[in-house]
Structure 1
Amino acid sequence: MLDQILLFAAVGFAAQMVDGAIGMAYGVTASSVMMSLGIPPATASASVHAAEMFTTGASGLAHWRMGNVRMKLVLRLAVPGMVGGALGAYVLADLVGEAIRPFASLYLMGMGALILWKALHPPPPREEPPRHVGLLGLGGGFLDAVGGGGWGPLVASTLIGGGTVPRYAIGSTNMAEFFVTTTVSATFLATIGLELWPVITGLILGGVLAAPFAAYVTQRLPDRPLMILVAIVIVLLSLRNLLQSLGPLLGG
């Protein structure tokens, strides 16, 4: 048990460093690593979301205190996001782990590609009211639960690309994510339960320990090279997961 806690504390530390530096990809990073270790998608997503209740709560509070949150935008994201997250968790809980693994891997590869695209093509900030926020929250919550992560890369990047000021997009997305994550975790608890407590404990400890260092990294490192590196790692891990899951079908 201690070995598991230490291993996933390292995973949680690394994932939080990434998330703290670029404002996204905690769930995608942690889920990619967990699936590469053979953990079923539903269990990986449940564990990551349970840990994220603590990390997103702290992150949302910090953004609120720094004036990066627009509560009207938070509500427009959080309510449909909670609905989508609950539906996604319910659907994932009913699917066989090995059957959904290829699709989860493809989804995570897509998230990695999205992060890479945003790193190479950063949109210019424009002060415009965001559109279709409800649909974005609904879809973001559903895909986040099914894929084990992706709320930040999808929602925050879409808001920024649509003209929302980046700090308001990131801060509001982070605060809304707390409510979405809590709903997803409660749904998993009611359906498949939360079994891997050493994994969850490790992710929480690693994330909490990384938080102050991540804030420092945010100030010191440029976003673009880090986003490119993270995107490449996520795509490679997901590709490995995909090939492993398709191995029996391909005669591997």
Structure 2
Amino acid sequence: MDLYLPIAHMDINIAMIVGFGLIVGFLSGLTGVGGGFLITPLLIFVGVPPLIAVGTGAAQIVGASAVGSYAHWRLGNVDMRMAIVLLIGSWTGGLLGVHVAKILEQSGHFGLVVSFLYVGLLGFIGISMLIEALMAVRGQKKSKPVQEKKTSWVDRLPWQMDFPVSGLRTTILLPLGMGIAVGVLTALMGVGGGFVMVPIMLYVLKMPTKVVVGTSLFQLLFTTAEVGILQAGMNHAVDPYLALALVIGSIFGTQFGARLGARMPGEQLRLVLALVVVAVAVKMGLGLVIPPEHVFQVTQVL
């Protein structure tokens, strides 16, 4: 059954779009990323214009994050103090990013910039996470005793704050800057920034894996809501029918992913996320070097 998209000006298979939402919602609840890093490339692959794919992807994450963050909040996996600091930064970055997206779209370079951002960022982060996750799963990476921890440059920065739920004390400058970067990425790539935020929260801030997942989803809910509203108002880049179909699928997928993630060890969660990130980076990279009509044939062979 085909659905006409009034903003994108095209027909699209509604069952396929709901399926996209189901997959993305599952990964969102399982790993704490909003799924935008996956849904935006998928929409572009099926012919949705890049700016509309980005804007609608951000709007879709609102639905997925709402369900996932509520599930994790009930499990006690949301650090509210950390989430608020992240939100202050991400709302600022989101406003800046929407203005940049408008400029790039008017110059005709938006689609190319988005593709290069995906390949570069996802490739670097995905490979780094994959190596670490494989070492952890194989038991090659031993955790050091707490008493061996040394004072780092982060500990010497000003504006230190306690985050009891995460069990750490750190400067608010780091999560604030991270929030700004996530807001910009949300506007330019249609992502919630979870694929950047989750690794930093895990490996730099040293937060527990399950708290990272819940806090990331909670922050994504409000960041993507802001960016979705701005993209719709300023750039007319949100297709309501496309977003609704994606949200319907993601609502069910997120609940299942959150339940499964609560039962999985942290090492396995990081491995799943790393594999997905690398796969999307490869897919986007193929799209840059291979003519569009051959991309699906090549990836199917792989």
Q: Provide the TM-score with structure 1 as the length reference.
A: 0.86
Of the three residues 265, 269, 278, the one matched with 1:232 is 278
In the TM superposition, residue 129 of structure 1 has moved relative to its aligned partner by: 2.7
Out of 81, 92, 95, the residue aligned to residue 101 of structure 2 is: 92
Given that 1:27 and 1:148 are in contact with CA atoms closer than 8 Å, whether structure 2 keeps it comes out as yes
- Counterpart contact for 2:77–2:214, Cα < 8 Å: yes
Post-superposition Cα deviations, 1:165-211, rounded to whole Å, max 9, x if no partner, equal 22222222211111111110110111122553332122111101212
Q: Give 1:116's match in structure 2, choosing from 117, 127, 140.
A: 127
d(CA) in 2 for partners of 1:244 and 1:198? 31
Deviation at 1:224, TM superposition (A): 4.9
What residue in structure 1 maps to residue 169 of structure 2?
129
Q: Structure 2 CA distance, aligned partners of 1:170 and 1:216? A: 12
Q: Judging by fraction of residues, say which structure has more strand.
A: 2
Paired residue total: 247
Q: More helix by proportion, 1 or 2?
A: 1
Change (3 A) 1:220 1:138: closer
Identity between Structure 1 and Structure 2 (%): 19
Shift of 1:155: 1.2
Question: In the alignment, residue 189 of structure 1 is paired with which amino acid?
Answer: A
C-alpha RMSD of matched pairs (Å): 2.7
Equivalent residue for 2:242, pick from 190, 199, 203: 199
TM superposition shift of 1:107:
1.4
Given that 2:32 and 2:212 are in contact with CA atoms closer than 8 Å, whether structure 1 keeps it comes out as: no
Cα distance in 1 for partners of 2:264, 2:176 equals: 35
CA contact (8 A) 2:25 2:257 kept: yes
How far did residue 243 of structure 1 move?
Answer: 2.9
Amino acid at match of 2:59: A
Asked if the contact 1:120/1:224 (under 8 Å) is kept, the reply is: no
- Unmatched 5+ stretches in structure 2: 4-11, 137-142, 147-166, 293-302
Give the drift of 1:130: 4.0
Residue aligned with 1:121, SS: helix
Structure 2 residue matching 1:129: 3-state secondary structure: strand
Show the 5 A alignment for 1:216-231.
216-218=259-261, 219=263, 222-231=268-277
Q: Which amino acid aligns with 2:114?
A: A
TM normalised by structure 2 equals 0.73
Q: Is the 8 A contact 1:36 1:237 kept in 2?
A: no
Partners of 2:278 and 2:176 in 1: CA distance: 30
Tell me the residue number matched to 2:183: 141
Q: Which of 216, 224, 231 is residue 173 of structure 1 equivalent to? A: 216
Paired with 1:244 and 1:157, the residues of 2 have a C-alpha distance of 30
1:105 aligns with 115
